Amino acid sequence: MTNKSGYKGRILGIETSCDDTCISLIETKDNQPSFKVLSNIISSQEKLHKRWGGIYPTLARREHQKNLTPILKKTLVDSKLEKKLKKKNSQPFDHFLEKDLINYKKLDSYLRSIEKPEIDAIAVTIGPGLDPSLWTGINFAKTLASCWQIPIIPINHIEAHLIISLFSFKDNLLKFTDQEILPAVALIVSGGHTQLLLMKEIGKYKMLGETRDDAAGECFDKTARILGLGYPGGPEISKKAAQWEKKRDVNDKEFLPRPMLHSKDLDFSFSGLKTAVLYKDQSVKKRTKDYLESMAYEIEESIVDVLIKKSLIALKQNDSQTLIIGGGVTANRKLRKKLNELDDVRVIMPEPGTETDNALMISVTAFFKEPQKIEEIKAQPNLNLR
Ligand code: KG4
Ligand code: ZN
């Protein structure tokens, strides 16, 4: 297990690929993948987007612009690294925020008011994600790297979702679980992605299958919206499903499709499920409590059934007994329960609280990656794993 970036010490992670603004700070000791988490802030835009029932890119960018500097300040204060200067620093440094004046002024004046903190590298998400959101975080990270003269490490958001699963908390440290688990099959299930991969080693992947239309998380979000439930849809559907589970008759029949459950390949499709929910919803006169709960139960069952069935095929085809899961949907209670009940499969899951978007996974992944020249770092909205 190597630290490719060749630094020891503290890594600041920045994640703005979608609608959450996240900054984290970890400290690594003895050059080992074992970290003390000094700070991990997630500022969620949920309430804002709830009003619209989805994510609006320009709105998301504006929120990142507003949030980044205050969150950076809170990170430094919480980890006791903020040292105020008596006289403002007037040294020139490169700004990458000229087109982003809200952020520029706030960050410039803050950086000039503090001493260079004891941070050794900056990690930032470069994709996949929304282009304006990604650039906001990248330009912010570049400005810090240039002001503090420290390396910057570009990170793939999807890879970070998988790598954080390889870590668990022990004795107050976030530790690498087991060096021997790779190669393994990986299932990534988030709001934007649903993919099965073969993870040969950290940094080496082979795509086995992916969704042909909506991602699993997107299906939770869209069906929740059809049913008039809140955003994000996953937790809302899951809550209602749990209510129904207590009441339902075990002989109740399935009434929503399990798309592509029996197809031989490892691809997914969730838009048919969404359409089935829409038609069903249009046919009911009134959305009763029982109706909503039973629908939620079926939606969750359908998505979880398909995810597990395809993962099992992938394991078999690749002669593997280890499944690594990552992404927001892995917070799903039913998915975790059913995966834990599988015989002969070791399932590696992210620690509770690290499933949905966060910057901790960005800092941690940076340990395994190399820095890149500042001018070469660009947003890559469609970045893939390979
Ligand atoms: O990984 P993530 O935070 O963001 C992306 O990279 O997309 O995943 C967000 C997705 C959303 O679609 C949300 O509805 C889903 O994860 N999600 C859940 C649960 N918690 C979040 N889906 C099902 N059950 C949950 N408990
Ligand atoms: Zn994500």
**Per-residue pLDDT reduced to its tens digit, 100-140:** 767 788 899 999 999 999 999 999 999 999 999 999 999 99
Average pLDDT, the chain: 93
Pick from 155, 187, 188, 220 the residue to mutate for probing ligand 1's pocket: most ligand atoms within 8 Å of its CB. Answer: 220
Taking the centre of ligand 2 as the mean of its atom positions, its distance from the CA of residue 286, in whole angstroms, is: 35
Percent of the chain clearing pLDDT 70 (strictly above): 95
**Per-residue pLDDT reduced to its tens digit, 201-237:** 999 999 999 999 999 999 999 999 999 998 899 999 9
Q: What is the dihedral of CA 128, 129, 132, 133, to 10 degrees?
A: -110
Query: Residue 47 — very low, low, confident or very high, per pLDDT cuts 50/70/90?
Result: low
Structure tokens at 202: 């950290």
User: Of all protein residues, whose CA lies closest to atom 26 belonging to ligand 1?
Assistant: 332
Taking the centre of ligand 1 as the mean of its atom positions, its distance from the CA of residue 144, in whole angstroms, is: 30
- Ion ligand 2 neighbours, Cβ < 5 Å: 190, 357
Amino acid identity for residue 203 in this structure: G
Of residues 192 and 51, the one with the higher pLDDT is 192
Residues 6+ apart with CB under 8 A from 101: none
Taking the centre of ligand 1 as the mean of its atom positions, its distance from the CA of residue 265, in whole angstroms, is: 24
Alpha helices in the chain (DSSP H): 46-50, 57-78, 101-113, 131-148, 157-165, 216-226, 233-247, 271-283, 289-317, 333-340, 360-366
pLDDT score of 6 more than 60 = no
CA distance linking residue 358 with residue 17, whole number of Å: 10
CA of 224, closest atom in ligand 1: 14
pLDDT score of 243 more than 80 = yes
User: Of all protein residues, whose CA lies closest to atom 22 belonging to ligand 1?
Assistant: 234
pLDDT at residue 52, as a whole number:
67
**How big is the CA angle at 289 (ends 286 and 291), to the nearest 5 degrees?**
65
Amino acid identity for residue 41 in this structure: I
User: Of all protein residues, whose CA lies closest to atom 23 belonging to ligand 1?
Assistant: 234
Query: Residue 95 — very low, low, confident or very high, per pLDDT cuts 50/70/90?
Result: confident
Cβ–ligand 1 distance for 220 under 6 Å, the answer yes
Taking the centre of ligand 2 as the mean of its atom positions, its distance from the CA of residue 196, in whole angstroms, is: 15
Query: The whole model's pTM is what?
Result: 0.95
Taking the centre of ligand 1 as the mean of its atom positions, its distance from the CA of residue 113, in whole angstroms, is: 38
pLDDT at residue 99, as a whole number:
72
pLDDT score of 286 more than 60 = yes
Amino acid identity for residue 28 in this structure: T
Question: The domain 184-319: what is its CATH number?
Answer: 3.30.420.40
| Domain 10-176+356-376 shares a fold with domain 184-319 | yes
**Per-residue pLDDT reduced to its tens digit, 323-332:** 999 999 999 9
Q: Where in the chain are the domains?
A: 10-176+356-376, 184-319
Average the pLDDT over 21-42 and give the result: 93
Question: The domain 10-176+356-376: what is its CATH number?
Answer: 3.30.420.40
pLDDT score of 239 more than 80 = yes
**Per-residue pLDDT reduced to its tens digit, 10-21:** 999 999 999 899
